[in-house]
Copies of this chain bind each other. A is one copy, B any other.
Amino acid sequence: MFDITALCKAAKKASYGICAADSNQKNAALSEIALAISKRRAEIIFENEKDLENAKKSGMSESMIDRLSLTDKRIDGIIEGILQVTELPDPSGRVLSEEVRPNGLKITKISVPIGVIGIIYESRPNVTADAAALCIKSGNAVILKGGKEAINSNRILCKIMRDAVSKAGLSEDTVCFVDSVSREDTAALMKMKDYVDLLIPRGGAGLIRATVENSLIPVIETGTGNCHIYVDEHADEKKALDIIFNAKTSRVSVCNAAESLLIHESRLGLLDKIKERLDQKSVSLYCSSACFNALSSKEKVFLATEEDYYTEYLDYKMSVKEVSSLSDAIAHINEHSSHHSECIVTENEEAAALFLKGVDSAAVYHNASTRFTDGFEFGLGAEIGISTQKMHARGPMGLSELNTYKFVIKGNGQIR
């Protein structure tokens, strides 16, 4: 039987080793991983084939099967990603503040790895290597728990990474793999508070909710995006049309895509043009009655329910509602949003300032698409997820967010 406690204990022990490793050692481990994945790609493709066959048998959709597939090109992408992580600065050991107190104590606040990070994810086996690379670079041990549909792919990737890490002189348990598809083991992992310091669920709303509800370990919620575009009274028409079209349709399946349009009641005349633009991608609109009535064509136009305004469609669908003031827009967003990314389109600086201050979301935009909320676009170099909660990290999480800090105090016998 799979022993989740033993696995977590092993990860904890390994975490002290990787925590003490210097940048060269961590980069060497990443280089070994990249090399090993390249050399052993035939094994990866062989194991991935098993997952793909099972997926076909189970009647998985084409798009899901595509996500699951590890082609030569995707393996090259994984390797490229790992090598990029070696180029990033080491987030650990930075002096965040330093002070000599009146009693002579020197107090230094210094960034340090978190310890053991558990990643619970669905489907895409790329995450296995991406997440491990970010954890290693940031000095953490990682416990990987992927979806059952990718178990063969994930198992071989973890085996290759464990071998490589060991070759680089670190404990193989720096990368731990939950080789189980049992829900009991996942539930048990969430209780391993003594050994696991952080859980990051990556996947749909159901996975995230289940993790929050069952975990005793601190959780960072990621990637739910009911993002809003607010077209203000003073919006520039072209900017509004471009931003709405881009934010809604450039990639509908991602968390930073817009899901809801708010429009000042004085600008309802713009709705026909907005719809015309969105018609290029056959976007359905779920409208308040005022917006419904303002639209000339009712093709793909529906009346919204209150539920629509809370919905992250991840599809060619958008909810649409008028507001009678900026403060109504802010209040609506704070009530309905998942607090990911929201945008105001306006030429009025005062309105923009009020929106940016009043909207309680990780990323707030003035005249730009919400699609920019992303670790690479923000210049973090990489991203383990986009946090939609407020503790520890908010918005795109890079290597720095996989560190905590400690206080180091040097004295010469001081007592209190």
Contacts and interface: CB of A to CB of B under 8 A. Distances in A.
Interface of A: 16, 19-20, 99, 101, 105, 107, 114-115, 193, 197-198, 212-213, 216, 218-220, 236, 238-239, 242-243, 245-247, 250, 334, 352, 356-358, 360-369, 371-373, 377-379, 389-392, 394-395, 404-416
Given A216-B212, A407-B395, A413 B239 contact: yes
B411 A358 contact: no
A361 B414 contact: no
B413 A238 contact: yes
A56 to B, nearest CB: 34
A357 B411 CA distance: 16
Contacts of A389: 197, 218
B413 A242 contact: yes
A352 B250 CA distance: 55
Given A105-B372, A334-B16, A406-B361, A390 B216 contact: no
A391 B170 CA distance: 25
A413 B363 contact: no
A415 B371 contact: yes
Contact of A409 (B107, B216, B366, B404): B366
Contacts of A372: 105, 409, 414, 416
28 contacts: A99-B379, A101-B377, A101-B378, A105-B372, A107-B378, A107-B379, A197-B389, A218-B218, A218-B219, A239-B413, A360-B406, A361-B406, A362-B406, A362-B407, A363-B407, A364-B408, A365-B411, A366-B408, A366-B409, A366-B410, A367-B412, A368-B409, A368-B410, A368-B411, A369-B414, A372-B409, A391-B391, A394-B405
A412 B240 CA distance: 11
B394 A392 contact: no
Given A369-B416, A413-B239, A415-B246, A101 B379 contact: yes
B377 A416 contact: yes
A390 B246 contact: no
Contacts of A373: 407
Contacts of A352: 410
- Copies of this polypeptide in the complex: 2
A389 B409 CA distance: 18
Given A115-B390, A212-B216, A415-B243, A16 B360 contact: yes
A358 B20 CA distance: 7
Contacts of A107: 378-379
Nearest to A412: B367
Contacts of A246: 415-416
Top 5 A-B pairs, shortest CB-CB distance: A368-B411, A246-B415, A390-B404, A371-B416, A239-B413
Given A107-B378, A198-B390, A415 B364 contact: no
Contact of A404 (B242, B243, B356, B391): B391
Contacts of A358: 16, 19-20
Contacts of A242: 413, 415
B364 A413 contact: no
A187 to B, nearest CB: 14
